[in-house]
């Protein structure tokens, strides 16, 4: 490969990183294109282009004049693909492959094309069954074709395109479609890597269909095989790339158990999927290339464990660049303030609004929209796939009801390179449960308003829901009888003493060490539906110190809001704590509480000690009014 000029699409992926290193070691000149940021481990010799390769130009490729093209770039989902994958598959698989070959097919420098195809193009009736199979079906290159899903369809479509070009351009370049079997590797989202990460964290491994049989091919072997295929003169057409040996899912679990003797396994059968029993016939690979893969599970999995153990012991800064605001809904001011911070430090990051509602208005003021599933445990894998697919490096939850999900699963996201800006589960449990928050105040002698499940004293009372937004279905200044009647209408009512005074919000931001970086007090001058429509900042050093004392007692992180009342004697009474960005917290940003800039600095691994909280010397009054968003789009 010495002096070959190799263009690698998707070269920042699991296979691509293995491939690129080998190419550089062999003396090749390498040009990598990928949506992801440049991997830190890449040699300075690698020419890199980040971005959608659907936009790469003939000029860009001509300047490099590749002699070889290794096409890895593709979008994948699980065997059961989502409805949304329809467009993604076309753009990132069908269209991308066609676009790249349109640019390259007439380039005089090009001598060899190697396409990373897939065994998913084979007729699934050959290797999937209603019941566990005794032996795996050995799939050879001449077996019946019937793509299993959209991904398989896209792979087959490009195989046909390459075959078409071969009729006209075979004297100029040859092409090989390597049908890769079940891939796994280091820094991957495959099930083996996920199980290893779970085992390292002491989590239970969830296993479906342990009787299933797959030909697991390690990414290092796949990269080596693609290079050998590329180097082999006279080779064209299709060729299987697998180990030629099928292993049961239960065998994978056994290897992991051998390395983690105390790991817990949960076997589940509540899935409606067939049993797979597939294996590559690698006779052609052995005969024509003179090589077969060297790795088996017993050799590869310890390498994955070693790699993942380093990440668990010393987590590195997430290499992903994009940002997801979950439950974005109509939170236009929040998204706009985050967009402003993004342009200051992460201009290339893509800011997504995420919501379960496809009509969420926040999508019109950011870079893109992701329809999110419900934040329930059953959807964790889908969330992990979404952040992987959209290269999400930071998730910002914004709704009380979702904080528990993100806090419980924060480590799972961080294990695959995504930071979630959420407080520890202990702090979430204390803050969302108003009765628990009141008990927390009583135990630690904080000025938190007491709460009871039955009225204490003669009243008057405030009656509200124990969980969720406190302003919903609230009853204010009620005598005992009316309080009981109002409580009967609620799901989980609590009672609190009614205290007259000024309504105050306290916006604060805490770093990863749970220390307050800065806070701003603001009076809620006018409130509608529990949100401040007019709010004014003010200073009170003693109250600020008391709020810091309360906030730093809990393992909080990121933006938080305290709600309190200042009575006629000037005494504070804390009502509740919201461990998220507040509806009117943009007023505090205007006053110098640089919430999102600090968040992005911390995400970059920067030291915030030298970044000071510069509070405005003048006070800010914010009036929240509706504002039109006008879109000029020829496709409307």
Tell me if 436 is assigned to some domain: no
Strands (E), 539-590: 558-566, 572-578
pLDDT at 366: 92
Q: Which two tokens stand for residue 509?
A: 């931001």
Tell me if 215 is assigned to some domain: yes
Mean of pLDDT values over 314-321: 58
pLDDT at 263: 93
Domain range enclosing 627: 500-636
Tell me if 189 is assigned to some domain: yes
Alpha-carbon span 567 to 561, nearest angstrom: 19
**End residue of a domain, out of 403, 422, 441:** 422
pLDDT at 317: 47
Tell me if 438 is assigned to some domain: no
User: Does residue 52 have a pLDDT over 90?
Assistant: no
Q: Which two tokens stand for residue 293?
A: 């893969």
Residues 26 and 56 in one domain: yes
pLDDT at 557: 96
Contact 495, 455 (CB under 8 A): yes
User: 337-360, pLDDT tens digit by residue?
Assistant: 999 888 777 667 899 999 999 999
Pairing of strands 621-623, 531-538: antiparallel
Mean of pLDDT values over 119-136: 96
User: 563-600, pLDDT tens digit by residue?
Assistant: 999 999 999 999 999 999 999 999 999 999 999 989 98
Tell me if 348 is assigned to some domain: yes
For 138-156, the DSSP string reads EE-TTS-B--SSHHHHHHH
Alpha-carbon span 275 to 78, nearest angstrom: 15
Residues 127 and 240 in one domain: yes
**End residue of a domain, out of 253, 283, 313:** 313
CATH code for the domain of 138: 3.40.50.720
Q: Identify the band that residue 298 occupies on the pLDDT scale cut at 50, 70 and 90.
A: very high
**End residue of a domain, out of 371, 387, 422:** 422
Residues 211 and 349 in one domain: no
Q: Which residue do the tokens 């920067």 mark? A: 606
Contact 236, 185 (CB under 8 A): no
pLDDT at 318: 43
Residues 45 and 193 in one domain: yes
User: 452-476, pLDDT tens digit by residue?
Assistant: 999 999 889 999 999 876 566 899 9
CATH code for the domain of 520: 3.30.470.20
Whole-prediction pTM value? Answer: 0.56
Smallest CA-to-CA distance from 409 within 401, 400, 419 is with: 419
Residues 168 and 288 in one domain: yes
Alpha-carbon span 232 to 175, nearest angstrom: 11
Average predicted confidence (pLDDT) for the chain: 92
Residues 167 and 90 in one domain: yes
Tell me if 475 is assigned to some domain: no
Domain count, the chain: 3
Tell me if 160 is assigned to some domain: yes
């Amino acid at each position: 490969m010495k002096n070959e000029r190799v263009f690698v699409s998707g070269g920042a992926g699991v296979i691509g990183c293995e491939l690129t290193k080998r190419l550089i070691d062999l003396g090749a000149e390498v040009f990598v294109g990928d949506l992801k940021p440049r991997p830190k481990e890449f040699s300075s010799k690698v020419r890199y282009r980040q971005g959608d390769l659907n936009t790469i130009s003939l000029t860009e490729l001509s300047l490099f004049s590749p002699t070889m093209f290794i096409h890895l770039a593709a979008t994948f989902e699980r065997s059961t693909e989502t409805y949304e994958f329809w467009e993604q598959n076309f753009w990132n698989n069908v269209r991308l492959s066609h676009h790249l070959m349109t640019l390259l097919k007439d380039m005089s420098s090009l001598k060899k094309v190697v396409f990373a195809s897939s065994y998913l193009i084979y007729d699934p009736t050959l290797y999937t069954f209603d019941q566990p199979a005794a032996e795996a079906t050995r799939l050879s290159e001449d077996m019946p074709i019937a793509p299993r899903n959209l991904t398989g369809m896209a792979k087959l479509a490009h195989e046909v395109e390459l075959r078409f070009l071969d009729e006209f351009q075979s004297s100029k370049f040859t092409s090989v479609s390597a049908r890769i079997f079940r891939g796994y590797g280091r820094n991957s989202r495959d099930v083996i890597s996920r199980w290893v990460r779970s085992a390292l964290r002491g989590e239970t491994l969830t296993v479906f269909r342990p009787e299933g049989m797959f030909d697991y091919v390690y990414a290092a072997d796949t990269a080596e095989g693609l290079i050998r295929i590329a180097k082999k003169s006279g080779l064209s057409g299709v060729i299987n790339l697998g180990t030629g040996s099928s292993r049961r899912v239960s065998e994978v679990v056994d290897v992991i158990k051998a390395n983690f003797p105390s790991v817990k396994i949960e076997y589940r059968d509540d899935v409606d999927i067939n049993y797979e029993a597939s294996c590559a016939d690698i006779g052609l690979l052995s005969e024509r290339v003179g090589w077969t893969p060297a790795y088996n599970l017993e050799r590869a999995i310890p390498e994955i464990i070693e790699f993942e153990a380093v990440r668990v012991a010393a987590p590195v800064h997430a290499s992903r660049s994009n940002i997801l605001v979950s439950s974005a809904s109509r939170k236009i001011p929040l998204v706009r303030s985050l967009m402003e911070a993004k342009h200051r430090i992460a201009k290339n990051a893509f800011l997504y609004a995420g919501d379960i509602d496809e009509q969420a208005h926040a999508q019109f003021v950011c870079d893109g929209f992701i329809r999110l599933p419900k934040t329930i445990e059953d959807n964790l894998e889908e969330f992990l796939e979404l952040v992987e697919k959209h290269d999400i490096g930071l998730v910002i939850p914004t709704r009380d009801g979702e904080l528990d999900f993100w806090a419980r699963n924060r480590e799972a996201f961080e294990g695959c390179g995504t930071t979630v800006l959420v407080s520890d589960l202990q702090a979430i449990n204390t803050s969302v449960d108003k009765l628990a928050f009141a008990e927390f105040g009583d135990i630690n002698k904080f000025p938190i308003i007491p709460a009871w499940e039955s009225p204490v004293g003669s009243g008057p009372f405030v009656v509200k829901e124990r969980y969720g937004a406190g302003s919903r279905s609230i009853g204010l200044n009620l005598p005992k009888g009316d309080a009981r009647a109002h409580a009967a209408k609620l799901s989980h009512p609590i009672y609190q003493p009614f205290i007259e005074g000024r309504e105050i919000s306290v916006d604060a931001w805490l770093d990863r060490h749970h220390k307050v970086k800065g806070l701003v007090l603001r009076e809620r001058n006018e409130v509608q539906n529990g949100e401040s429509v007019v709010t004014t900042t003010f200073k009170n050093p003693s109250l600020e110190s008391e709020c810091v004392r309360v906030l730093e007692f809990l393992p909080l992180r990121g933006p938080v809001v305290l709600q309190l009342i200042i009575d006629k004697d000037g005494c504070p009474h804390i009502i509740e704590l919201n461990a998220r960005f507040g509806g009117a917290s943009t007023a505090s940003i205007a006053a110098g509480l640089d919430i999102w800039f600090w968040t992005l600095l911390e995400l970059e691994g920067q030291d915030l000690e030298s970044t000071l909280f510069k509070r405005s010397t003048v006070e800010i009054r914010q009036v929240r009014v509706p504002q039109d968003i006008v879109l000029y789009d020829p496709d409307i």
